Amino acid sequence: MITNTKTNERNNQDKKFHFWQYFTPHKKTISFLILLDILFICFSIFETLYFAKIVENITEKAYYLAMKQLVIFGIESVIRICVNHLYNVIWFKFQVKVTKSMTFDIIQQSFMVSSKAYTDHNSANFIKRIDQDPWTIFNNLSNFVDNVSSIITCVIVIGYICFISWQVGLVLIITVILCAIIETYRRRKVKEKNRELFKRNEKYSSLLQEVVKSERDVKSLNLEYELKENIQQSFDYSQNYGVQTSIYENRWWAYRTVLFRFLGAAALVLAVFFMNKGLLTITSFIIINNNRNYSFQLMTAYENFTRYITEIKLAVERISELYQDDEYELEKFGATIRKHIKGKIEFKNVEFNYIEYKERDKKEILAEKRANKRKKIKAKVPTREISNTNRVFKNLNFTIEPNTTVAFVGKSGSGKSTILNLISKMYEVDGGKVLIDGTDIKKLDKDSLRSSISLVNQFPYIFDMTIKENLLLAKPDATDEEIEQVIKDSALDEFISTLSNGLNTKVGESGIKLSGGQRQRLAIARALLKKSSIILFDESTSSLDNLAQNQIKKSIDNIKGKSTIVIVAHRLTTIKNVDKIFYLEEGEIVDVGTFEELYKRNKNFKTMFLAENI
């Protein structure tokens, strides 16, 4: 049965990342927070102006009135603290809700990114965008809101100083404007530096993750010293640039601070001059002196204002890259729904190339950005370019009938595993078509395609859960009888019977508590539980001992005729009983037949088998 509809996945391909959309469902909470923030601003302004009145009364020796005002001032301070606490409690809870929603959407979008894009980028690219950038956005937004409150307070206080003496107030305003100009220039220069620093930190983080995950290999091969050198080089590459960026920022901060101090002192000199002329009272001078730092706070608030906006923009840009079919190529699915897949697979004139990229020269990128800006071109400037193209297939053709078991064999690099990736649409063809039951897989919707195919990789990922929980990922409603059956079919029953907690045994991160063969058998059990129309085995028995391998062969024999089974194998003994074998050389199918037929007529195939069994 075929139906056509626009799926949610299709809509996801067209959407963009707008972080404001995550705040829309919380309008009431945001309105209440704004109300509390306005109240907090009023309290801040009240404290500043009211304290100025207290100073004035003390100066005029109205001590009794000043004491009453100080009591009111103390009560107001307590109320302000309570309002601030209430604001923070609501804000913290609000933060968790929004970042949770944002993070989960980014995780979902990361699964829309093609497998090829994952191959082209290190894992830190994705982890930082998922784990850190949502919090970066929200934390900077929180600081941004606080900063707006500070700016409003500072503006009103400076306005009050202008009311006392417009000449002194004007000097303070000029100070803020000049410092703001310097800060704008500095922030624009630093933005590009921070973007480059983020990329360098990504590489360093990715290396650290690899070192942690490869701990056993590092120890067994005695690679500690070599990796230490690599880590040190990566650290220097990242942190030295960070130091240069910090020094650059600090230099401009020093320029700005010197300017502020000079003009701030000029404002006080002007105030003393007016006192000498009788145009300013001692009380007014005290108020100006006590509050002139609000101009510095305003300047700092503006600095922070630009920094928070810059960091939010950078985080949004990084996340948005996952939503754009540019550097992170997105998976594309059609709108055709197939409810019952029989499992016929066809390759028609399929072409596929592995494309390698390299980073473009930064000066070249900057020049192109400036040229686009002059020409008012809004297109995104690519940061990398193609460095090499390796052709894997050209006009590859074959057909696999439903419910048959076939195998692809050949030397390393002949394209065996690539065929499985093209069938499962992990990779996109560059030309030709891959058909399932006569339908181009480009036209199938995501659920129709992925629910009909199970892939057992050469190095399957086992999650840090119990054995049973790992199995239930494939079929959450699986019965105990179904689980027991796939455990037997995948030859895991004897191993599990030796465990004190049985199926409830935790296997550790990446299944580290299991042997390589046990991990593969668990992955096979997970695939069998899914009961897909098409099951792909990519070297799935390569790390099993002979006994376990024979059990897996029996398992595959048990499901023969029930699903279309495609096996990629180096060990030819595992595919003796398949219905058909495709023999590949350099991306071409040069022979097809049963095991016996190929053994008799194909010298290369025979040589491979004999070499394996010497």
For the segment 584-594, what is each residue's pLDDT rounded down to a tens digit? 988 899 999 99
Assign 336 to helix, strand or coil. Answer: strand
Cα 76 from Cα 68, distance rounded (Å)? 12
Cα 272 from Cα 116, distance rounded (Å)? 70
CATH number of 392-612: 3.40.50.300
Tokens of 529: 């539980």
User: Does the pLDDT value for residue 614 go beyond 60?
Assistant: no
C-alpha dist (Å) from residue 11 to 7, 100, 104, 316, 443: 7, 21, 17, 20, 14
Range ranked top by mean pLDDT from 19-33, 297-311, 359-373: 19-33
What is the structure's pLDDT at 223?
65
C-alpha dist (Å) from residue 68 to 56, 58, 463, 485: 14, 12, 67, 83
- Residue 215's pLDDT band (cuts 50, 70, 90): low
What is the structure's pLDDT at 442?
92
Is 240 exposed, middle or buried, given 0-12, 13-18 or 19+ CB atoms closer than 10 A? exposed
What is the structure's pLDDT at 405?
92
What is the structure's pLDDT at 439?
92
User: Does the pLDDT value for residue 29 go beyond 70?
Assistant: yes
SS3 content of the chain, % helix, strand, coil (to 5): 65, 15, 20
- Got the DSSP string for 509-522? GGGTTS-HHHHHHH
Assign 187 to helix, strand or coil. Answer: helix
User: Does the pLDDT value for residue 438 go beyond 80?
Assistant: yes
Q: Identity (one letter) of the amino acid at 257?
A: T
Q: What are phi and psi of 393, to 5 degrees?
A: -130, 145
522 HSE (CA, 13 A, CB side)? 30
Question: Residue 52 in contact with residue 22, Cβ under 8 Å?
Answer: no
> Quick one: fold of 17-193+246-323?
ABC transporter transmembrane region fold (1.20.1560)
10 Å Cβ neighbour count for 159? 11
Q: Identity (one letter) of the amino acid at 84?
A: N
- Residue 95's pLDDT band (cuts 50, 70, 90): confident
Range ranked top by mean pLDDT from 252-266, 302-316, 434-448, 564-578: 434-448
Q: Identity (one letter) of the amino acid at 291?
A: N
Tokens of 420: 């499985």
373-395: pLDDT as tens digits: 787 777 777 777 777 888 889 99
What is the structure's pLDDT at 218?
65
What is the structure's pLDDT at 545?
61
What is the structure's pLDDT at 235?
80
Instruction: Tell me the domain boundaries of the chain.
Output: 17-193+246-323, 392-612
Cα 604 from Cα 238, distance rounded (Å)? 50
Name the more confident of 609 and 542.
609
37-49: pLDDT as tens digits: 888 888 877 877 7
Cα 79 from Cα 485, distance rounded (Å)? 67
Cα 362 from Cα 26, distance rounded (Å)? 41
For all residues of the chain together, what is the average pLDDT?
81
Name the more confident of 521 and 438.
438
